[in-house]
Amino acid sequence: MKSNHELSVFIDSGFYRFRSSNVFFIDPVRVLNRFYARFRISPSAYYSRFFFETKHAGQEVEVCSRSSKKRKRKQKKPHILNERERAADQRHREVKPLLLKAHEALLAATDLLTVMGELNRDYVSSTGYGIEQSFIELGRVWQAPLYEITLKFNQCYLTDQRCEQRVIPLFNNLVANETADDVEAEILDRRYILPRESSFFMSDLEQIHNLIPAESDCGFNLIVIDPPWENGSARQKSLYPTLPNRYFLSLPIKQLTHTEGALVALWVTNREKLHNFVEKELFPLWGVDYVTTFYWLKVKPDGSLISDLDLFHHRPYEYLLLGYCSGVAASSKHHSALRAVNNQTIISIPGDYSRKPPIGELLLECFPGFKPARCIELFAREMTAGCLSWGNEPLHFQESRYFLGD
Ligand code: SAM
């Protein structure tokens, strides 16, 4: 295999930058692994959707042919697009050339595809781990305030050598691993792994005001938000509760923002209604000025798109809308520097349903003005180094089943 600089950077970092373009490929497993000293993310647990598809390829084909027969029957009546669908179609047409170019670049990077194709080699079935812990359910019961987490520090980071374990409330409490090492934790006999320099606050939206810092210079300059937008498939699959749009208006973005301003990154699906809502209501109410859009293009391990680019209700891409929220001391210079950043396309193989690739470092590379980052992720399901993860299940992907050797 011809080795090149981009590939060796990718092997170490998980980021592959396509030369002279605004396209990145991310391997979340490699990126996340850099946050751990002793533990490693399990590729087959992260990419289980695609390992499963490969193992059951025969069944997949059958399901496809049955549903395509259905589709053929339905195709008799041509669907006339309503006004909102026409706007969505127009948005898609504008984005399409950029995404096609990004995809072409990926297909030409045969060295990268070879490395990613090898993921399948060490497949380990993850059935047999039993039912996952539901923090959403646990947080709703009357005993929730009584649940505790036991943090087991590898080395005692305090001077008092007896402090190797700490038992503290699980919900509505800031739980931090301030050490440079991974920390193992226990909740109701299950094991969780916390990356270095990370923290979480597990609560319902009703308690989010507890995160507002007393001093605004303790606020955050990078705010990543992945709201539980209402959508049919999350509801049907009962994966997590969703919320009507009006609930997101109450997110205290301004109060979470650092004195010197914050970069706000908001994940949005393809629904045109959401784009209108963000542009006309959400960003203005939060005090966020739109800056640019990044696109997340989803591919399979062989580099092919997860669905047809033109498939109306299942586009193989999502949007990351970027905006700027000014703080009390923010300068306009900071703001105009942001406007110079063009659209970028991030390509990756998706993990579990709605799991987003870790984009914190990439954002800081594109917007260096926000370093050192004081980062918060809202509606998080995992923890990353240097970031506070908030939501009703920020420990979801921290369970030991998602790590190798469990
Ligand atoms: N970014 C996450 C990832 O990459 O895995 C996915 C986030 S998912 C779209 C939305 C999250 O919001 C889910 O974990 C869901 O349980 C959580 N959520 C839903 N309702 C909530 C509420 N009322 N308070 C706090 N979190 C909530």
Tokens of 99: 């995404």
Q: Which of 378, 302, 342 shows the shortest CA–CA distance to 115?
A: 302
Q: Is the CB of 228 under 6 A from ligand 1?
A: yes
Ligand 1 and 392: CB distance under 6 A: yes
Overall average pLDDT of the 110-116 stretch:
92
Is the CB of residue 389 below 6 angstroms from any atom belonging to ligand 1? no
Question: What's the rounded Cα separation, in Å, for the pair 406 and 383?
Answer: 18
Q: Which ligand 1 atom is at minimum distance from the Cα of 239?
A: 16
Nearest CA-CA partner of 129 in 47, 190, 188, 187: 190
Backbone φ and ψ for 388, nearest 5 degrees, come out as -95, 125
Determine if the peptide bond prior to 316 is cis (ω within 30°).
Answer: no
Q: Comparing C-alpha atoms, which of 194, 206, 239, 207 is closest to residue 397?
A: 194
C-beta of 136 in contact with ligand 1 (< 6 A): yes
Ligand 1 center to 84 CA (angstroms): 27
Q: Is the dihedral of CA 140, 146, 152, 155 positive or negative?
A: positive
Dump the DSSP string for 352-397: STTPPP--HHHHHHH-GGGPSP-EEEET-SS--TTEEEEES-TTGG
Q: Give per-residue pLDDT as tens, 168-203.
A: 999 999 999 999 999 999 999 999 999 999 999 999
Q: How far is the CA of 291 from the centre of ligand 1 (A)?
A: 25
ipTM (interface predicted TM): 0.99
Token output for 360? 């914190």
Is residue 108 within 6 Å of ligand 1 at its C-beta? no
Q: Which of 223, 221, 198, 220 is nearest to 320 (CA)?
A: 223
Instruction: State the pLDDT at residue 121.
Output: 65
Does 243 sit in the ligand 1 pocket, CB within 6 Å?
yes
Residue with tokens 């359910």: 137
Residue found under tokens 């979470």: 256
Q: Measured from the CB, is residue 101 less than 6 Å from ligand 1?
A: no
Dist. CA 393 → ligand 1 center (Å): 7
In 3-state terms, what secondary structure has residue 167?
A: strand
Q: Is 240 in the pocket of ligand 1 (CB under 6 A)?
A: yes
Q: Is 360 in the pocket of ligand 1 (CB under 6 A)?
A: no
Segment 244-262 mean pLDDT: 95
248 lines ligand 1 (CB under 6 A): no
pLDDT band at 155 (very low <50, low <70, confident <90, very high): low
pTM: predicted TM-score of the whole model, two decimal places: 0.91
What band does 236 get if pLDDT is binned at 50, 70 and 90? Answer: low
What confidence score (pLDDT) does residue 243 get? 95
Q: Please tell me the predicted confidence (pLDDT) of residue 333.
A: 57
CA of 303 to the centre of ligand 1 (A): 29
pLDDT digit string, tens, across residues 256-265: 999 989 999 9
Distance 83 CA to ligand 1 centre (A): 30
Q: Which atom of ligand 1 is nearest to 356's Cα?
A: 4
* CA 43/CA 48 separation, integer angstroms: 8
- How high is the pLDDT of residue 28? 97
Calpha distance 181→234 (Å, rounded): 35
Question: With a 6 A CB cut-off, is 241 part of the ligand 1 pocket?
Answer: yes
Instruction: Judge residue 125's burial from the number of C-beta atoms within 10 Å of its C-beta, 0-12 exposed, 13-18 middle, 19 or more buried.
Output: exposed
Residue 235 has pLDDT above 80, yes or no: no
* C-alpha of residue 173 to centroid of ligand 1, in Å: 18
